[in-house]
DNA sequence: ATGAAAGCGCTAACAG
DNA sequence: CTGTTAGCGCTTTCAT
């Protein structure tokens, strides 16, 4: 049923080695043109498909790169996956996108032996990895949550947050709340610390609007519900700006505010972090810092491919500060 | 550097077989509790990681399932990936999400030997697969574009389109245009045919608004540009309804219409196909048929796991008709 | 209860 | 130019 090199060799009455040479393209001058042709056509005709496992086993390299993410769905992740794919596409490597998280244990995510790992937004996971693994397989960590133990392309979320919150102060807001998943509402979290710092500088009081849902998939809906509850009835919480943990949450808040009859930005200014394009399509479009998706994907892959060629390279590091994109959710703009 | 079973066996002065039995959990009464403990602790201590390639090679099964998609990014795909992941999570199988498309040849997508293939929205790709592959590895095709050559969970796009366009007729629209990627504007395409049929029934003239961009990633932006151009100046095309190929395109049209000062739905009613949640967050929210994502993922996985256990099963087939979700983009609604 | 041995499909010396 | 051979790391009879 399944055709192997042996089958081809037997049928053609040549040795396995010859077939191997031809089919793997290492036959430079070793094998006659005639045999080459015969082997190729036999392989095609018999429907031969190389067993990569066997090749990988002996070569010690799988040509496989694992891209580790928390999830596939929210646009923030799928953007990044998309861009990383574009980088790896056309190289000799194959991308294996795998989820890490609560249900998928770290070890399972790297279930397959891979030549390299690209870990997006999951520093804790990297830090959890056993040292011998870290030593034996190149890892590049990238995203807002990056590990400094390995090559990394980071995003400075602290600075990003500063620029968003300062922008809110600059446009005259005084009651700036922070819409945040409960699990991230603690010092040590870059957004939290930057938010607090910024408000302290401006002599304003922090206000936390906490959302229960930590799972990124439902962040938008969860944020919407919390903000809806907040503005329900006449208990207007006297908020005039809402800084959101993510654009997903900003989108949820956006809908809740509109439905509560709250005007954006005149009543409440809204801004997020990420810069997924959905924010641009909202009305008014949402102010946010924009993750340099392409740049990150490109650099992360560059770091990894270099490392793949030379394991002794010194640590490669880059930290980017995402630019603030001011849109209609904080500043009244005329439509273009 | 890399620890193998041999290393453990040598260190412990037992045979490889013993180690194998213990580590793969097949040691029911074969190996003494004492040895078991010793082996386990040695493995842990030495940082042993099983080489799945070797196991797969000998067992002839990789425990790997390929999920084939065109792209990761637009929400329509990432939803599905998300849901398929949830299905496979917790089973003995591992999901390998791979892209098929222009750049990634079909054969490369199944580069790794997998135990099964789940092909989302890519019937042409399945039909292109060599027969011997189709015979040797179970494939389930699902989505709007499904192959009837193999097990499949289809979505009846023709019916879906009928329900959307009929809805537009029902609410009194008479100039119903179809916003469509150029490549899909031909008879044979389910949406196209259903749209034409429906308009013929209602004695209306079809109007095609063609978008150049076939690549799904940029559909939204491309749709936006086309619609913007359409409504630019005072050349109002006398359209009172716009049926969109996808929700992505509907979202683009939505923004363009708003920015052109066209009121939705009073001037132009808007509807799409897919039912991605972003459509719900638009203002007004977008009417669309809703792909039964969860149901499809669940059934597709069910079909595949059954097939994995019994290759002789008769063809498994299911075709779903997605329900029409009427929202504010076609019918004026009060906010909830 | 444990070990020896064969072999999964392929690659890469090395001989001829 | 082609064939022989020795494994890659693991599983799995079959002996012991």
Instruction: Convert the pLDDT of each residue in B223-239 to its tens digit.
Output: 999 999 998 865 666 89
Chain B residue with Cα closest to A131? B47
> Which residues 110-139 of chain B have a CB within 8 Å of chain A?
111-113, 130-133, 135-136
Report the alpha-carbon distance of residue A228 to residue B336 in Å, rounded. Answer: 11
Confidence class for position B330, pLDDT limits 50, 70, 90 = very high
DSSP code per residue over A256-297: HHHHTT--TTTT-EEEEEE--THHHHSSSPPEEEE--HHHHH
As a dihedral over the C-alpha atoms of residue B148, residue B150, residue B151, residue B156, rounded to 10 degrees, the angle is -20
* Cα separation, B150 vs B155, whole angstroms: 15
The highest-confidence range among A170-174, B39-43, B214-218, by mean pLDDT, is A170-174
Structure token pair of residue B204: 């209306």
B167 CB-contact burial (10 Å; exposed 0-12 / middle 13-18 / buried 19+): buried
Query: For residue B15, what pLDDT is reported?
Result: 85
Kind of pairing between the strands at A151-155 and A139-143: parallel
The chain B residue lying nearest A112, using CA atoms, is B52
Task: Say whether pLDDT at B150 is over 90.
Answer: yes
- Contact between residue A143 and residue A80 where contact means Cβ atoms under 8 Å apart: yes
Answer yes or no: are the C-beta atoms of A164 and A243 closer than 8 Å.
Answer: yes
Distance from CA of B80 to the nearest CA of A (A): 8
Distance from CA of B194 to the nearest CA of A (A): 29
CB B33 within 7 Å, strand C: no
Per-residue pLDDT at B111: 81
Measuring from the CA of residue A5 to each C1', which nucleotide is nearest? C9
- A45 vs B: CB within 8 A: no
| B57 CB inside 7 Å of strand D | yes
pLDDT of residue B207: 95
Residue B335: the pLDDT is 47
Tens digits of per-residue pLDDT, B118-137?
Answer: 999 999 888 888 887 888 89
Averaged pLDDT in 10-residue chunks for chain A of 336 residues: 86 87 79 84 89 90 92 88 92 89 72 91 88 88 95 97 97 96 94 98 96 78 93 76 96 93 94 88 94 96 96 96 96 66
Work out the pLDDT band at B336, boundaries 50, 70, 90: very low
Residue of B nearest to A133 (CA): B47
Residue nearest to nucleotide D6 (CA to C1'): A58
Angle between helices A190-201 and A157-170 (to 10 degrees): 30
From A3, A52, A133, residue closest to B112, measured CB to CB:
A52
Q: Are B209 and B179 in contact (CB under 8 A)?
A: yes
Radius of gyration of chain A (CA): 26
The verdict on a CB contact (< 8 Å) between A259 and B336 is yes
pLDDT at B235: 60
Cα gap B336→B333, rounded to integer Å? 9
Q: Indicate whether B104 pLDDT > 60.
A: yes
B62 touches chain A (CB under 8 A): yes
Contacts with A, B 145-204, CB within 8 Å:
none
Q: For strand C, is any atom closer than 7 Å to the CB of A107?
A: no
Angstrom distances, CA of residue A111 to CA of A133, A157, A304, B52? 12, 31, 19, 7
Q: Tell me, in Å, how far CA of A35 is from C1' of C11?
A: 19
Cβ of residue A258 lies below 7 Å from strand D: no
Better pLDDT: B318 or A92: B318
The pLDDT tens digits of the residues spanning B51-78 come to 999 999 998 899 999 999 988 888 889 9
The Cα diameter of chain A in Å comes to: 88
Report pLDDT for A25.
Answer: 80
Tokens 């959101």 belong to: A244
A58 touches strand C (CB under 7 A): yes
Nucleotide nearest the Cα atom of B17 (by C1'): C3
CA distance B213 to B245: 12
CA of A14: how far to CAs of A2, A9, A19, A133, B202, in Å?
A: 19, 5, 8, 41, 69
Shortest CA gap A206–chain B (Å) = 28
* Best residue in A57, A64, A112 for a mutation probing chain B (most B CBs within 10 Å): A112
Q: What is the DSSP string of B92-160?
A: S-EEEEEE-SSSS-HHHHT-S--SEEEEES-HHHHHHS-HHHHHHS-EEEEESS--TTSEEEEE-HHHH
Residues 6+ apart with CB under 8 A from A132: B1, B3, B47
pLDDT for the residue B156 = 97
Pairing of strands B139-143, B287-290: unpaired
**pLDDT given at position A112:** 83
pTM confidence score: 0.91
Q: How many CB pairs under 8 A join A and B?
A: 136
Q: Is B132 left (phi over 0), alpha (psi -120 to 50) or beta?
A: alpha
Contacts of A254 in chain B (CB under 8 A): 281
Distance CA A262, CA A236 (A): 10
Do residues B121 and B70 lie in contact, with contact meaning Cβ atoms separated by under 8 Å?
Answer: yes
Q: What is the pLDDT of residue A216?
A: 65
Q: To the nearest whole percent, how much of chain B has pLDDT over 70?
A: 95
């Amino acid at each position: 049923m399944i055709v192997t090199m042996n089958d081809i060799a037997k049928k053609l009455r040549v040795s396995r080695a010859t077939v191997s040479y031809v089919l793997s393209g290492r036959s430079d001058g070793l094998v006659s043109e005639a045999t080459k042709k015969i082997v190729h056509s036999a392989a095609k005709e018999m429907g031969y498909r190389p067993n990569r496992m066997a090749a990988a086993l002996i070569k010690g390299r799988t040509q496989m790169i694992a891209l580790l993410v928390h999830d596939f769905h929210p646009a923030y992740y799928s953007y990044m996956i998309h861009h990383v794919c574009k980088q790896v596409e056309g190289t000799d490597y194959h991308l294996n996108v795998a989820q890490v998280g609560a249900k998928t244990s770290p070890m399972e995510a790297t279930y397959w032996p891979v030549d390299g790992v690209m870990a997006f937004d999951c520093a804790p996971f990297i830090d959890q990895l056993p040292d011998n693994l870290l030593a034996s397989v190149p890892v590049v960590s990238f995203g807002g949550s990056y590990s400094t133990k390995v090559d990394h392309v980071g995003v400075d979320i602290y600075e990003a947050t500063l620029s968003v919150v300062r922008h809110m102060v600059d446009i005259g807001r005084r009651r700036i709340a922070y819409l945040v998943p409960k699990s991230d509402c603690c010092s040590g979290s870059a957004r939290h610390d930057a938010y607090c710092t910024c408000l302290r500088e401006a002599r304003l009081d922090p206000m936390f609007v906490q959302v229960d849902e930590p799972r990124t998939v439902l962040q938008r809906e969860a944020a919407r519900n919390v903000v809806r509850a907040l503005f329900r009835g006449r208990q207007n919480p006297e908020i005039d700006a809402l800084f959101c943990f993510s654009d997903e949450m900003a989108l949820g808040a956006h809908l809740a505010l509109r439905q509560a009859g709250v005007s954006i930005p005149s009543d409440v200014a809204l801004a997020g972090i990420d810069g997924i394009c959905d924010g641009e399509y909202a009305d008014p479009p949402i102010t946010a810092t924009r993750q340099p998706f392409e740049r990150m994907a490109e650099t992360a892959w560059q770091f990894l491919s270099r490392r793949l060629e030379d394991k002794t390279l010194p640590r490669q590091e880059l930290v980017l500060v995402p630019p603030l994109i001011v849109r209609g959710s904080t500043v009244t703009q005329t439509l273009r």
